Amino acid sequence: MIQIMGAGALGSLFGALLQLSGYEVVFVARGKQLEALKNKLTVSGILNAELTVNALEKPVDADLTLFTVKAYDTDEAGKALSKVNPGIVCTVQNGIGVEKILSKYTEKVLRGVTSYGANLRDFGHVVYAGEGQIYLPNDELGKEAVELLKKSSLRIELVKDIEFRVWAKAVINSVINPLTAICRIRNGRIVENEEIWKLALKIAKEGENLLRSFGFEFDAVSEVKRVALATAKNRSSMLQDIERGKRTEIDYINGAIIENCSKLGLDCPANEFIYLLIKGIENEFHNRAGRFGDADP
């Protein structure tokens, strides 16, 4: 049995694709998303389907748990998983350091990266926006996961450079996510709007510099442009969070870049500026509502 821990946009999409491939799937969610999933899961976009799913509030034993909660919920969700036998826990979350948090609670942690695109149109309704890949490390656990998922339609590739891919994705997210969230624009506008692109270049080059000091060759500007144009119509996950008055993953993306730059004595003023802007917006939500709308997807 496959379990989706955090059946938001991406988790619901993966769960739907697995169930449609014949797997028994459990969807772990909360709040209004859980209530909606108990009724049905609707998928639209690249694929159109309506599924009756097994939606639960708490995790259960599984052969493999696909871990798709927001980065800042990793600790709480990890704790919940420690009470069951979740099998291989495969995280494909955005951000840096989530696998370290998960390792406190469960043994078989597998760090992956994904380029699949999904948005929640409404509670219980996911839009399949872009077919991508799931990259997993080419080690024993990665191979075990591929074996378990081999009957599924998910596109999975075993790679030797997972650490590089995790950081490369974080650098891409560090540019696209906060800029789209602050300017309230879709991903493609980052490249098309001359002024915003100038800011994007500054943030991208700081990330590239950090990766170079790790020994990774990465053309951040070209990659940000490629991903922003390939996902031009997407509203980034951070934009969706800000639009819903929710907390964002900024600490695990730009925050992690700033922390690592500081350890290595590298300057990253553009990251610091954009980080503080997003934290400031989050504070305003907090002040107005008294709390974040964390029960929402």
Residues at the interface with ligand KPL (CB under 6 A): 94, 117, 172-173, 176-177, 187, 227, 231, 234, 236-237
Which active-site residues does the annotation give?
169
Give the contacts of 276 (CB within 8 A, at least 6 positions apart): none
Amino acid making up residue 253: I
Q: Which residues pair with 117 in a beta bridge?
A: 130
* Continuous H helices in the chain: 9-20, 31-39, 74-81, 98-103, 140-148, 162-183, 189-192, 194-213, 220-230, 237-243, 254-264, 269-289
**Smaller CB separation from ligand KPL, 78 or 95:** 95
CB of 249 to ligand KPL, least distance (A): 8
Identity of the residue, 53 or 191, whose beta carbon is nearer to ligand KPL in the bound complex: 191
Q: Which two tokens stand for residue 153?
A: 């339609």
Closest to ligand KPL by CB, 175 or 268: 175
Give the strand pairing for 125-130 and 41-45.
Answer: parallel
Q: How far is the CB of 204 from ligand KPL (least distance, A)?
A: 13
**Distance, CA of 278 to CA of 286 (rounded, Å):** 12
Q: Rounded to an integer, what is the distance from CA 232 to the centroid of its chain?
A: 17
Would you say how long the chain is, in residues? 297
> In angstroms, what is the minimal distance from the CB of 70 to ligand KPL?
11
Burial 227-251 (b: 16+ CB within 10 A, else e): bbeebeebbbbbbbbbeebbbbbbb
**Least distance in Å: CB of 235 to ligand KPL?**
7
Q: Do strands 134-137 and 113-114 pair parallel, antiparallel, or not at all (unpaired)?
A: antiparallel
Q: Which is nearer to ligand KPL, 1 or 232 (CB)?
A: 232
Amino acid identity for residue 266 in this structure: L
Least distance CB 239 / ligand KPL (angstroms): 8
Both tokens assigned to 22: 């014949």
DSSP state of 151: T
By C-beta, is 12 or 187 nearer to ligand KPL? 187
Minimum CB distance to ligand KPL, residue 133 (Å)? 12
Looking at beta carbons only, is 176 or 191 nearer to ligand KPL?
Answer: 176
Amino acid making up residue 43: V
